[in-house]
Structure 1
Amino acid sequence: MQCPKDKKVDLVDRQLVKQLAAHHCSECDGVWLGGADYADWQQQQPPAENLSTLIDQALEMDCARSPFDSRAALCPECNAYLARAKVSVKTPFYVERCPNCKGIWCDRGEWETLQTLGLHTVIDHMFSNDWQTRTREREQLAQERRATIDKLGPALAAQIFELAEILEKHPNGDFGVAYLMRRCDK
């Protein structure tokens, strides 16, 4: 079986964690998890606690990006294109999975990052509509914040963000927003 990112290198067997066999690339340092192997291992793991919180943490984390993360890849087992799921918005990185055999590819350091965050047992959730919708919402919010800072400057933008949080929590916050809109509409 050859590395999906460096197609000239054969993957070698490796024990990733207890009772989870993997295949390792000595060149790019990525790992391939067979779909059936991962599913069997995953069933033996305790359920993830508060998946929603884990998702929020993952979307806001900073991590080192692999130089191979942007390369398209084919499944080393069945030759299908690997689907990508964005794990983080702040420092984007992607986990890849085969839509046919459900095998998983992690570039250098990604498995360890997932392990640290407690997400290594719920990789399938990263490919769900809920995860991807949250990712797009976070990206949109981040773009909106950057645009606000660019247009208003950092000091005024910080005040706007603070006021937005206050109004969002206030039972009559919509009245405050309407007031501001009327004042700024002139």
Structure 2
Amino acid sequence: MRTCPKCKTQTLAPLAEDRVTDPDTVPPSRCTSCRGVWLPHGAVEQHVVPPSLDLEPAAPSADELPGFCPGCRGILVRARVEAAHPFHLDRCPACAGVWFDAGEWAAVASTEWLTHLDDLWDPAWKRRARAQQAQKRHLQEIERALGAETLDRVRAAIAALRNHPRRSLGLSYLIEELRSPR
């Protein structure tokens, strides 16, 4: 058994004994204590763990502990996964293995995150994702303030003016009409 990144004890056991080939490589493994799952980089892409393996989430306190790679013992780097219930994944910067606290593999395996998991640690991708989330929240606030029907009409006006050769005239007219008292 290897040392669990979160428990810091020798409780990390291979998921399948027949897959253990290289003694220097940590195979897909699960902690017998905290139920977290370690997946080497290639195993994440191959989806070797059934999503039903860990349906219960870990205790929140366990997710806040820093972890160490069970292979190279480097400090794992965290990335936030935006979901209905956000959580953090931990990855080794050297070998790119990923630690999933209990319940996190099932949460990731059932979403589109699995196909671009590496992006979670890419600063440029994270900036784009935050900008998209901010835009989405902004539009939701506008819809909440105006109502869906009015927002649809505003969008229709935008669509009509967007490529019109005299759109500045149309925009000026809208502003003028909105400023004048009725």
**Which of the five TM-score ranges fits, normalised by the shorter chain?**
0.5 to 0.7
Q: Distance in 1 between matches of 2:83 and 2:28?
A: 27
Q: Let me know the Cα RMSD of the aligned residues.
A: 4.2
**Structure 1 Cα separation of the partners of residues 176 and 79 of structure 2:** 38
What does 1:1-186 correspond to in 2, within 5 Å?
A: 1-8=2-9, 10-15=11-16, 21-34=27-40, 38-39=41-42, 42=45, 66=58, 67=60, 68-117=62-111, 119-129=113-123, 131-141=125-135, 144=138, 148=141, 154=144, 156=146, 158=148, 161-162=151-152, 165-167=155-157, 170-173=159-162, 179-180=174-175, 183=178
In structure 2, the CA distance between the partners of 1:87 and 1:158, relative to structure 1 (3 Å rule), is same
Farther off after superposition, 153-162 or 2-11: 153-162
State the TM-score, normalizing by the size of structure 1: 0.60
Percent identical among aligned pairs is: 27
Q: 1:155 to 1:124 in 2, by over 3 A?
A: closer
Which residue is 1:53 aligned to? none
Q: Is this contact kept in 2: 1:12–1:23, CA < 8 A?
A: yes
Higher Rg of the two aligned structures: 2
Distance 1:41 1:87, change over 3 A: closer
8 A contact 2:79–2:121 mirrored in 1: yes
Long gaps (5+) in structure 1: 46-62
Structure 2 alignment gaps of length 5 or more: 21-25, 48-54
Shift of 1:22: 1.0
Shift of residue 11, structure 1, vs aligned partner: 0.7
| Length, aligned pairs only | 159
In the alignment, the residues of structure 1 paired with residue 73 and residue 105 of structure 2 have an alpha-carbon distance, to the nearest angstrom, of 22
